[in-house]
Structure 1
Amino acid sequence: MYGLINEAMRRHVVENAGPAAWSSIALRAETSQTFAALHYYDDSVTYALVGAASEVLDAPAEDLLRGFGHYWSTRVGPESYGDILGATGTDVASVLRNLDEMHARLQSLYPELRPPSFDVVETGEDGLDVHYRSERAGLVPFVVGLLEGLGDLYGTPAAVTHDAVASDGTDHEVFHVRLTASGAP
């Protein structure tokens, strides 16, 4: 993953638990304290940081990933990619429908980017099924936080549930997103 991910994780931990906690996490993960945003790091570095954060902060990795997903949607995305995000859509549903296009645009900045893929199916006036495909395992809680964060970002609270695997026999995850305010699809 690119250093931008790890650096955002550092910011999130420092804001919530302080710089000493981050120092302990980096030491336990046997990584540097900071990361170059445009440098590609092996995925094992990110996974090591999550594992170390779970130990240092005495919190389940799933909870940390969910919180980080929310932070990514509400802070990192708007700060780092505000123009691209704004061009992607003006509400939760339109942003979700255009995430793959946004990732394609970002590949000019990040040539080694291996983004997930998102397909969106409307399920009613206030619901969406989000089909998520990724070569990376273990990021379901991050996606839940990401989806919830998008709801908060656009003023449309999102209740998110997860099906373990799609029922059509393909290997991907399905998230049910119920939008609970104006802005539903």
Structure 2
Amino acid sequence: MKGIVFNLLEDVVCEHHGAETWELLLEDTGLDGIYSSLGDYPDSDIQALVAAASVRLGQPASDVLRWFGEATMPILKSSYPELFAPFRSSKAFVLSVNTIIHPEVMKLYSGARCPFFRFEEMPDGALRMTYESSRNLLDLAHGFVAGAADAWNEKVIIERFPADSAQGNDILIHWFSE
């Protein structure tokens, strides 16, 4: 995993829970916390940090990942406004992830292994998003979608699809106008 992900995690943990919490997570995991944004690090590092945050914050790891994704989006929008500017809605932004966003990520961070998403428009206007990656970070993607909606001041409901599947790779996204 690229170091930028760890840098973002550190930023949101420090912003929302304080620098001492980040230091405690590093202590809990035995990691040194030195991540170059362009460096490559084992996926096990992010898994360990999320597991430690789950314990420290008293939340399931899935909630920590969703929070991380959602809290990261304002930082990404501020740091990379050119990736957000072309889009008039979070739905358009989300639909561009494979064709525009991830190719730009791979230009910025050589060797990045981005997930792939399949999209299906549902009859009711919802969007079914299928996550394809060996990393099993659908909850992080869920958080990114929620954060994108916030970035455009939109309302969404995001649910697992099918609804009774806690382990599936699909989410269903409903956008609502105000």
TM-score interval for Structure 1 and Structure 2 normalised by the shorter chain: 0.7 to 0.9
Residue type of the partner of 1:52?
A
Residue type of the partner of 2:152?
Y
Residue type of the partner of 1:148?
A
* Distance in 1 between residues matched to 2:128 and 2:145, nearest whole Å: 11
* Distance in 2 between residues matched to 1:181 and 1:106, nearest whole Å: 30
The 10-residue stretch of structure 1 (123-132 or 51-60) with the greater mean CA deviation from structure 2? 123-132
SS of the residue 2:122 aligns to: strand
* Distance in 2 between residues matched to 1:15 and 1:8, nearest whole Å: 10
1:174 is matched with which residue? 170
8 Å contact from structure 1 (residues 96, 118) kept in 2: no
Deviations 1:156-181 (A, max 9, x none): 2110011269xxxxxx7221111011
* Distance in 2 between residues matched to 1:164 and 1:25, nearest whole Å: 34
Residue type of the partner of 2:131?
Y
TM-score with structure 1 length normalisation?
A: 0.85
Residue type of the partner of 1:35?
Y
Check 1:34–1:164 CA distance in 2 against 1; reply closer, same or farther (3 A cut): farther
* Distance in 2 between residues matched to 1:71 and 1:34, nearest whole Å: 21
Aligned-pair CA distance for 1:115: 0.4
Matched, 1:82 2:81: yes
1:110 is matched with which residue? 109
1:169 is matched with which residue? none
Residue type of the partner of 2:27?
L
SS of the residue 1:107 aligns to: helix
Deviations 1:99-130 (A, max 9, x none): 01221122122221110112222224642111
Deviations 1:40-66 (A, max 9, x none): 111111111111111222222111111
8 Å contact from structure 1 (residues 163, 174) kept in 2: yes
RMSD: 1.9
2:153 is matched with which residue? 155
TM-score with structure 2 length normalisation?
A: 0.88
* Distance in 1 between residues matched to 2:125 and 2:177, nearest whole Å: 8
Check 1:29–1:68 CA distance in 2 against 1; reply closer, same or farther (3 A cut): same
Identity %: 24
2:140 is matched with which residue? 142
Aligned-pair CA distance for 1:135: 1.8
Check 1:54–1:181 CA distance in 2 against 1; reply closer, same or farther (3 A cut): same
8 Å contact from structure 1 (residues 3, 38) kept in 2: yes
